[in-house]
Amino acid sequence: MEITGKNIVITGGGSGIGRALAYAFHDEGAAHITVADLNLAGAQETAAQIGGHAVRTDVSSEEEIQNLVAEAEKFGGPIDIFCSNAGIIDLDPDFDNPASAPDRLWQRALAVHVMAHVYAARAVLPSMQERKTGWFLNTASAAGLLSQIASGTYSTSKHAAIGFAESLAIAVKDSGIGVSVLCPQAVATPLAGTGDFHGGADVDGIITAADCARAAVVGLKAGHFIILPHPAVLGYMQAKSGNYDRWIGGMAKLRRGMKAARAALKV
């Protein structure tokens, strides 16, 4: 998918990866970029830097996604690329129990990481199918391919996000529409602002949001389904599928080390 001349929507564009995507797409010559975020001030700040426009959007609401699409089409015409990027993370209240988060946090994670992608497809796919062109870039996480220690809500919802993206990609493969899933490990963003604890995601280093966005641009241009800003994730995926039991053991070992480090910090 070429980016030059395209009408693009980015959710979660008020900061972090979303803002970096907006800058990167602007540099690539996008015709118009609509920046959506629950934090309108952040979205407006991003939009001001790229000559786009901002829309306050709660991606967990289908009505607000539909309004976002209508606003984006009003300013830039049919949407060429929809980046469903907004994300949240909550740590397990009990480190030893991934089911310990209350229902409201499970529901919020599923709404933001899964249903928001569903709502975007409902709102945009018919127009793309009619035109036989378009692309979805869904930000998931390496956690959706591997796991996220100490956040059952995040890991589970990101796995589901990839599952939906696979279904979407398979369904639209023959219609000229593309789907990509951005799956970084640790990225230096406000979302990662949980102190020094990254649930093992920082094992291969923490990249900048700009680096993540550059990887997304390269992956989109190449038409890749899975985009891995941290190349090491491919090896982990292969190890996981090649010997699931051994992979679980390795992750348990990583978790034990993290638990010991957390205990030491509390002393």
The average confidence (pLDDT) of the chain is: 94
Lowest mean pLDDT among 124-138, 153-167, 190-204, 235-249: 190-204
Query: What pLDDT, on a 0 to 100 scale, did the predictor assign at position 196?
Result: 47
For the whole model, what pTM was predicted?
0.94
pLDDT digits (tens, 9 = 90+) for 75-84: 999 999 999 9
Asked whether the predicted pLDDT for residue 140 surpasses 80, the reply is yes
Q: Given this model, what pLDDT does residue 220 score?
A: 98
Residue 143: pLDDT above 70? yes
pLDDT score recorded for residue 265: 77
Q: Which residues are CB-neighbours of 20 under 8 A, at least 6 positions away?
A: 208, 209, 210, 212, 213
Q: Report domain extents, the chain.
A: 7-240
Beta strands in 150-225 (DSSP E): 177-182, 187-188, 207-208
Taking Cα atoms as reference points, which of 120, 113, 116 lies closest to residue 144?
113
pLDDT of residue 195: 43
The pLDDT-based confidence of 58 (bands split at 50, 70, 90) is very high
23 is catalytic: no
Report yes or no: 120 and 72 within 8 Å, Cβ to Cβ: no
- Residue 51, sorted as left (phi over 0), alpha (psi -120 to 50) or beta, turns out to be left
- Residue tagged active-site, from 119, 154, 236, 244: 154
CATH topology of domain 7-240: Rossmann fold (3.40.50)
Residue 31 has pLDDT above 90, yes or no: yes
At 187-240, the pLDDT tens digits run: 998 776 544 445 666 777 899 999 999 999 999 999 999 999 999 999 999 999
